Amino acid sequence: MNKPVAFHAFKHGLFDITVLSDGPIALAGEIFAPEASDNQRADVVARMDGADNIADAQSNIPLIVTSNDVILVDVGAGSRFQPSEGKLERNLNAVGVNAGDVTKIIISHARPDHIWGMLRDDGSLRFPNARYYITRAEWDFWMGEKADALLEAVQPFVAGARRDLQAIADRLTFVEDGDEVIPGLRILSTPGHTAGHISIVVDGDVPLIITIDATASHIVSFERPDWSFGFDMDPALARTTRRALIEQALRENAVLLGYHWAYPGVGTVRKDGDSFKLRPVTEAQS
């Protein structure tokens, strides 16, 4: 069936943004809500249209186009993590952009679902003309002794991060909190999920904050901001970061874009008692 591919696209300030997808990843309920009771977890899974304690996390990857640049935030998992992923390049092509057109890639953090799409199956760089941006904290973590000391079960993640980071070592620019990648597109340090995890703030009438895994779930991260996400490396720091990020979004009336949220992963937040609710944009608004 040749169904036309329709991606959520919108203008934000000077930027044309299209939310692409690398495809979904199936995750157990314990990843979305480790601290939940069985009933609470079943409710979260059901609200994500999951079943049998498994639900899909999406991989929403913003393509940001300006008059000078074609920018991606993260590169998805390629064909290396789960077979349902690896669709980013095909989806990029579907909106008329070739991998070689991409000029800048911001790497939020070096976990498989965000970085393993770096290389094609033949080992060549998928985006050969891009400059890459990552924090030194993230680089140092995966390249250093702390990653060596991680559990045996996650050593394949360490090996994968090293493979992909080494492949871009001569095309890297280290960034930190407040740095502009281009005017109007700023790094916001949001550590906790990983050591050097970053979000991105895009200037417009109100800010657009691309939160990545600092708010990993469109349900749990807002309604239970003190619960962790199963892959948070430092759950206490991730919790502090998540609260601060959501409070900032409220204060600034920001639009949010989440990597793993139900597609297209764009919404606004409101206060709901002691916690929050995410109000997704509708397709009709695009």
Token readout for 43 is: 């409710």
Nearer to Zn ion, 30 or 180 (CB): 30
Query: What are the tokens at 251?
Result: 């204060």
> What's the closest the beta carbon of residue 14 comes to Zn ion, in angstroms?
28
Helix and strand totals (H; E) in the chain: 9, 16
**The one segment of 71-79, 134-142, 169-177, 205-213 that binds Zn ion by CB under 5 A:** 205-213
Site track for Zn ion across 89-118, x = CB under 5 A: ------------------------x-----
Which of 154/182 has CB closer to Zn ion? 154
Q: Is the dihedral of CA 257, 69, 100, 188 positive or negative?
A: negative
Which DSSP letter does residue 169 get?
G
Does the protein bind Zn ion through residue 213 (CB under 5 A)?
Answer: yes
Q: How far apart are CA 176 and CA 204, in angstroms?
A: 21
CB of 150 vs Zn ion, minimal distance in Å = 17
According to the binding rule CB under 5 A, does residue 74 interact with Zn ion?
no
The dihedral sign for the CA sequence 44, 259, 99, 125:
negative
Question: How near is the Cβ of 149 to Zn ion at its closest, in Å?
Answer: 22
Of the candidates 232, 272, 248, 243, the residue with the CA atom closest to the CA atom of residue 111: 232
Closest approach of Zn ion to the CB of residue 113, in Å:
5
Structure tokens at 51: 């079943």
Q: With binding defined as CB under 5 A, does residue 232 bind Zn ion?
A: no
Q: Which residues bind Zn ion (CB under 5 A)?
A: 113, 213
